[in-house]
């Protein structure tokens, strides 16, 4: 992916490229500025999550969608504004991730349609493009919800319609659009009670605001402030790296949590790490820094020694990557072979343990993904395009991936059915209904019915203090979501699970299955299972390693 720079064109060059009417060269410059400014504010957008869970990823999904659009446009530059918009929209569609990314791609799709055939764009055509963006975005959602990114693009379009007769200058029109977006975003909590309860504005709408504000900042000659180092929030920091191979110089993975000295300089620290290894990441949060690096065998202790000069080390994690890869090769997952004419299932899975279960149930392929790592439309299409059948079923297993799956079905010539599974247990339930040689429509209908037969609880740690729908949550407490709804908050996992069982009418179920996530030991999971069995002697209780990030347990009730 292209590395972006804060270096702006000179004032004269900017004036030439962005004067009205705008050419294709000016349009791609606006897209790039919007992407850079969104990237700068990515973590803030991620933090605007209704539920205080450590997997807010709206900003990330929107950035990746914009990056995919820009990458394709950058490779096919044109002075023709219609061609440039069309290329960008296609790239954004194929790279769209999560609900926010898919809706954003639909905004650019409608935007580009209005520009089709036009060599340049003035404010009147910009207004028509926004109208197309608004209409396409709303049509792309089965049940549009106000107080979201949809409302923001609608309000921006209304503002453009009111100003187009008097504002012929692109800069003035962008001022109007950014002001309208700002007002609309701040009003989203008044339209969506969940936002007001959580004390946040809509994250997708805020992301769209940053994109257009970035365009305006470019025209006004303001800095876009891109980060100089690869810094991510600790909540987003992933210690697992599913690498297909370990490259030379990556023998050991070292992760260090440390409290920095008062004289600590992040950029200087980062430069020092570059001399010690590769795959460097630095995360910051709550007064601590977390450093990740891959090093050669002989140098594995050097990052520790270097970090000791920068602060007080609190925790060290070290793993032999070569041994890890050897273990993975020995335990390679084998998927169900597909024969011509068969129905093949592609499932999205967030953890290796869950992937193994999907493989055992007969899926043909798995796309790695889930919260914070939503696969793109292109990723989903790539998983099934080469399978020797034209009958494909996708199990998204996450509410933020359903829309991307639907768009993947639209861009493929194959017959693709989408089962709207929102989590892995629903996906497992659907797989029990798979008949590879059955009637396609009947199998899709049966698998869709199956997902309603399982209820799912997800247990994680709250990332902030909030009150949502009457549930008071304190940062650091264990929270439980049941069928996607936040139901309780407790001080420990055991207390949370006990309260969950009290909340659920256990007489309705015959089986409980616990899937424990990364960071949870098998002994801890077995202990919890033993307690569950002792409490509910008439219910069958199972436990499996899920390996999912962020969520200590996923619990299925059937």
Question: CATH topology of 333-453 equal to that of 455-557?
Answer: no
pLDDT at position 475, please?
Answer: 86
Mean pLDDT of 426-441: 94
Mapping DSSP onto H, E and C, the string for 235-252 reads HHCCCCCCCCCCCCCCCE
455-557, which class in CATH?
A: alpha beta
pLDDT at position 229, please?
Answer: 34
Q: Which of 145-149, 296-300, 359-363, 446-450 has the lowest mean pLDDT?
A: 296-300
Instruction: Choose which CATH entry (3.30.420.240, 3.30.70.2740, 1.50.10.20, 1.25.40.340) describes domain 11-220.
Output: 1.25.40.340
Mean pLDDT of 84-92: 94
Instruction: Let me know: does 255 contact 316? Beta carbons within 8 Å.
Output: yes
pLDDT at position 231, please?
Answer: 40
Q: Which of 154-158, 368-372, 532-536 has the lowest mean pLDDT?
A: 368-372
Mean pLDDT of 296-304: 89
pLDDT at 112 over 90: yes
Mean pLDDT rounded to a whole number for the chain: 85
Instruction: Let me know: does 291 contact 309? Beta carbons within 8 Å.
Output: no
pLDDT tens profile 359-396: 889 999 999 877 667 888 889 998 898 889 999 999 99
231-327: CATH architecture: 2-Layer Sandwich (3.30)
pLDDT at position 446, please?
Answer: 95
Mean pLDDT of 516-526: 86
Would you place residue 300 in the very low, low, confident or very high pLDDT band (cuts 50, 70, 90)? confident
In a 10 Å sphere around its CB, with 0-12 CB exposed, 13-18 middle and 19+ buried, how is residue 522 labelled? exposed
Would you place residue 285 in the very low, low, confident or very high pLDDT band (cuts 50, 70, 90)? low
pLDDT at position 284, please?
Answer: 66
pLDDT at 4 over 50: no
Contacts of 7 (CB under 8 A, 6+ apart): none
Mapping DSSP onto H, E and C, the string for 122-175 reads CHHHHHHHHHHHHHHHHHCCCCCCCCCHHHHHHHHHHHHHHHCCCCCCHHHHHH
pLDDT at position 331, please?
Answer: 53
pLDDT at position 3, please?
Answer: 42
CA distance 485 to 477: 16
**So where are the chain's domains?**
11-220, 231-327, 333-453, 455-557
Would you place residue 250 in the very low, low, confident or very high pLDDT band (cuts 50, 70, 90)? low
pLDDT at position 233, please?
Answer: 42
E strand map for 297-363: 311-320, 343-349
pLDDT tens profile 463-501: 888 888 888 988 889 999 999 899 999 999 999 999 999
CA distance 332 to 151: 46
Would you place residue 244 in the very low, low, confident or very high pLDDT band (cuts 50, 70, 90)? very low
pLDDT at 8 over 60: no
Q: What is the pTM of this model?
A: 0.70
pLDDT at position 123, please?
Answer: 93
pLDDT at position 69, please?
Answer: 93
CA distance 4 to 41: 14
Q: Which of 221-230, 264-273, 379-388 has the lowest mean pLDDT?
A: 221-230
Burial 177-193 (b: 16+ CB within 10 A, else e): bbebbbebbebbbeebe
pLDDT at 48 over 90: no
**What phi, psi does 153 have (nearest 5°)?**
-65, -35
pLDDT at 99 over 60: yes
Would you place residue 343 in the very low, low, confident or very high pLDDT band (cuts 50, 70, 90)? very high
333-453: CATH architecture: 3-Layer(aba) Sandwich (3.40)
Mean pLDDT of 107-115: 94
Starting at the earlier edge strand, list the strands of the sheet with 311-320. Answer: 231-233, 278-285, 288-295, 252-260, 311-320
Would you place residue 326 in the very low, low, confident or very high pLDDT band (cuts 50, 70, 90)? low
């Amino acid at each position: 992916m292209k590395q972006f720079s804060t270096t702006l064109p000179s004032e004269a060059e900017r004036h030439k490229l962005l004067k009205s009417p705008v050419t294709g060269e000016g349009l791609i410059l606006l897209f790039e500025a919007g992407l850079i400014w969104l990237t700068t504010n990515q973590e803030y957008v991620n933090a605007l999550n209704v539920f205080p869970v450590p997997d807010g990823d709206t900003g990330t999904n929107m950035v990746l969608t914009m990056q995919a659009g820009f990458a394709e446009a950058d490779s096919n530059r044109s002075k023709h504004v219609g061609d440039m918009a069309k290329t960008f929209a296609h790239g954004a569609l194929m790279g769209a991730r999560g609900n926010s990314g898919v809706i954003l791609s639909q905004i650019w799709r409608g935007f580009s349609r209005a520009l089709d055939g036009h060599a340049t764009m003035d404010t009147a055509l910009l207004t028509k493009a926004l109208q197309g963006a608004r209409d396409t975005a709303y049509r792309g959602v089965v049940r549009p919800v106000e107080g979201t990114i949809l409302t923001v693009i609608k309000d921006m379009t209304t503002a453009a319609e009111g100003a187009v007769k008097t504002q012929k200058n692109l800069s003035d029109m962008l001022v109007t659009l950014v002001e309208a977006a700002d007002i609309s975003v701040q009003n989203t909590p008044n339209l969506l009670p969940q936002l007001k309860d959580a004390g946040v504005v809509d994250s997708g709408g805020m992301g769209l605001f940053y994109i257009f504000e970035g365009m305006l900042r470019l025209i006004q000659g303001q800095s876009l402030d891109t980060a100089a180092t690869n810094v991510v929030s600790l909540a987003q920091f992933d210690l697992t790296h599913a690498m297909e191979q370990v490259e030379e110089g990556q023998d050991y993975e070292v992760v260090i949590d440390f409290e920095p000295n008062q004289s600590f300089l992040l950029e200087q620290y980062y430069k020092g790490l570059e001399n010690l290894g590769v795959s460097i990441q630095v995360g910051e949060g709550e007064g601590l820094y977390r450093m990740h690096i891959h090093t050669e065998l002989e140098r594995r202790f050097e990052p520790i020694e270097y970090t000791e000069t920068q602060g007080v080390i609190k925790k060290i994690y070290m793993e032999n990557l070569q041994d890890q890869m050897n273990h993975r090769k020995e335990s390679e997952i084998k998927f169900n072979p597909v024969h011509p004419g068969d129905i093949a299932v592609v499932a999205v899975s967030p953890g290796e343990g869950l992937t193994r279960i999907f493989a055992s149930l007969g899926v043909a392929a798995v796309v790695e993904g889930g919260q914070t790592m939503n696969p793109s439309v292109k990723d989903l299409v790539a998983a099934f395009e080469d399978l020797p059948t034209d009958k494909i079923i996708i199990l998204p297993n996450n509410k933020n991936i359903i829309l991307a799956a639907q768009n993947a079905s639209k861009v493929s010539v194959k017959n693709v059915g989408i089962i709207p599974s929102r989590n892995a247990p629903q996906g497992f339930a659907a797989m029990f209904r798979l008949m590879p040689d059955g009637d396609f429509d009947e199998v899709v209908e049966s698998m869709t019915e199956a997902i309603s037969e399982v209820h799912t609880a997800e247990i994680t740690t709250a990332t902030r203090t909030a009150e949502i729908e009457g549930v008071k949550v304190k940062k650091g407490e264990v929270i439980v979501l049941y069928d996607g709804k936040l139901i309780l908050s407790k001080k420990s996992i055991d207390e949370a699970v006990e309260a969950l069982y009290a909340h659920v009418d256990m007489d309705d179920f015959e089986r409980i299955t616990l899937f424990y996530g990364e960071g949870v030991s098998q002994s801890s999971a077995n202990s919890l299972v033993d307690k569950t069995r002792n409490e509910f002697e008439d219910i069958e209780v199972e436990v499996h390693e899920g390996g999912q990030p962020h969520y200590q347990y996923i619990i299925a009730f059937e």
